[in-house]
Amino acid sequence: MINPSTAVPTEPTNGTTAPNYRFALTSLTSLFFMWGFITAMNDVLIPHLKGVFALSYTQAMLIQFCFFGAYFLVSVPAGWLVKRIGFQRGISAGLLVACIGCLLFVPAATSHAYWIFLSALFVLASGITILQVAANPIVTLLGKPQTASSRLTLTQAFNSLGTTLAPIIGGILIFSVIDEHDMSANSVILPYVILAAVLFLLAMTFLKITLPDTSPSEVVGSVVSKKGSPLQHRHLTLGAICIFIYVGAEVSIGSFIVNFLGEPYIAGLAESTAATYLSYYWGGAMVGRFVGAAVMQKIPAGKLLAFNSVCAMGLIALVISSSGALAMWAILMVGLFNSIMFPTIFSLALAGLGDLTSRGSGVLCLAIVGGAIVPVLQGALADSIGLQLSFVLPMICYLYIAFYGVQGSKPTSSTSV
């Protein structure tokens, strides 16, 4: 097995390394699927625990606060860990930490303690953070720089497959085993024990398989040596803000959909039924990523990012101003236009960073903390002005994303800022 922290790859000469790249990308898609599945499970967990513990919207959003807060606290240590032990062992370490987090749901449910649930989510997300830091740069570097956005979008499509299936499977496992008179937290044990087993098997698998070394400072001919801080690059700094805002908006919308569809003036759906409809939100992102991977071969990534942002803003305007089926399908359709945003922002922000790529990736993973902050802010708005009007916050977020696509993503010399 190649030691990913020390091996030097063979210089490509006649395309013979392409099969290795394809195998590496195929192996990595399972990771994108798993962290998508785990992340979307929160959207099912939130309305369930909100009822179990009689929480306000703000208190319920602490689930996302603890989950995505781990990205902020753990990203820098994760970056150092991956640098020390290599991408491949870093992936296995992240999977094992996530496995432990899933197992902590057992004492959380049996003790009926909300704070233990929050702690378990933090540990689980810490493992996912390590995976993000290790896997995203690999995908951007395994191939031509010109198609990095398309390549990352394609692998992120499998992340969306996980987010699409999670509400259906999670809704069945969590809501179908309880009745309206049984508000027990024990129904979460089975799905998270199953997740723990799968994560453990994946960790053992990644210890055995061979991935080509993709250290940004060592890949021959793929980068230019740079010194200094990645934050000296304006497009990365603005990209970090964009990741913060985008993840916050996407997570916040997904977190409120089940409750929103349960409102009498929208659809009046039961939680189990609303959880199924949540799959349309995440499924739209999956379809959009497959389509976007092809479209971005012809259309500049920044322009497509701006177009999708404007469309998302228009849909949310309908959500705020209408009711019934129109508002319901408008909020679910936002997922379609979210599709290419995260991978596109990520790859645009890392463009041209050379051997600062891994550190830049760490900065962007720090910015994922937006998923912790924005949902809590929208929760506070929902408690004060109502759930429907609170969607004005993600609409503002998409306005900034449109700016980044048009102007903010253009690389600027670090010495000029």
357 part of a folded domain: yes
If you average pLDDT over residues 155-183, what whole number do you get? 74
The H-assigned helical ranges of 86-222 are: 87-103, 105-111, 114-141, 148-175, 189-208
Closest CA to 125 of 169, 182, 83, 63: 63
pLDDT of 100 above 70: yes
Q: What is the mean pLDDT of the chain?
A: 82
pLDDT band at 206 (very low <50, low <70, confident <90, very high): confident
Asked whether residue 177 is assigned to any structural domain, the reply reads yes
Q: Is residue 15 part of a domain?
A: no
396 part of a folded domain: yes
Q: What share of the chain is helix, strand, coil (3-state, %, to 5)?
A: 80, 0, 20
Distance between CA atoms of residues 93 and 128, nearest Å: 10
The average pLDDT across 277-306 equals 87
pLDDT band, very low/low/confident/very high, at 393 (cuts 50, 70, 90)? very high
In a domain, 9, yes or no: no
**Cα–Cα distance measured from residue 290 to residue 99, given in angstroms and rounded to the nearest whole number:** 29
**Are the CB atoms for 169 and 121 separated by under 8 Å?**
no
pLDDT-based confidence at residue 263 (cuts at 50, 70, 90) = very high
354: left (phi over 0), alpha (psi -120 to 50) or beta: left
Answer whether residue 149 shows pLDDT above 90. Answer: no
Q: How many domains does the chain have?
A: 1
> Does residue 7 lie in a domain region?
no
Token pair recorded at residue 337? 């236009």
Q: Is the dihedral of CA 79, 84, 89, 93 positive or negative?
A: negative
Stretch 146-167: mean pLDDT, rounded? Answer: 74
Tens digit of each residue's pLDDT (9 = 90 or more) over 317-341: 999 999 999 999 999 999 999 988 9
DSSP string, 58-125: HHHTHHHHHHHHHHHHHHHHHHHHHHHH-HHHHHHHHHHHHHHHHHTHHHHHHHT-HHHHHHHHHHHH
Contact partners, residue 241, CB within 8 Å, separation at least 6: 367, 400, 404
Most confident of 128-132, 213-217, 396-400: 396-400
What band does 18 get if pLDDT is binned at 50, 70 and 90? very low
Tell me if 10 is assigned to some domain. no
pLDDT at 213: 56
Residue 163 scores a pLDDT above 50: yes
Q: What are phi and psi of 248, to 5 degrees?
A: -60, -45
CATH classification of the domain holding 193: 1.20.1250.20
**Res. 285: pLDDT tops 60:** yes
Residue 216, pLDDT > 50, answer no
Joined together, the tokens standing for residue 27 give: 């192996």
Query: Taking the model in full, what pTM does it have?
Result: 0.80
Per-residue confidence (pLDDT) for residue 23, from 0 to 100: 66
Query: Mind listing the pLDDT tens digit for each residue in 54-75?
Result: 999 999 999 999 999 988 898 7
pLDDT score, position 143: 63
The reported pLDDT for the residue numbered 242 is: 96
What pLDDT shows up at residue 219? 36
The continuous run of DSSP H or E covering 251 comes out as helix 234-261
Percent of the chain with pLDDT over 90: 43
**Residue 171: HSE in the Cβ half-sphere, 13 Å Cα cutoff:** 19
Asked if the structure places residue 228 within a domain, the reply is yes
Q: Stretch 7-33: mean pLDDT, rounded?
A: 56
The answer to whether the beta carbons of residues 408 and 242 sit under 8 Å apart is yes
How far is 230 from 123, CA to CA, in rounded Å?
28
Summarize pLDDT for 354-386 with one digit per residue, the tens: 777 777 877 887 888 999 999 999 999 999 999
Query: Could you tell me the residue range of the domain that residue 78 belongs to?
Result: 22-416
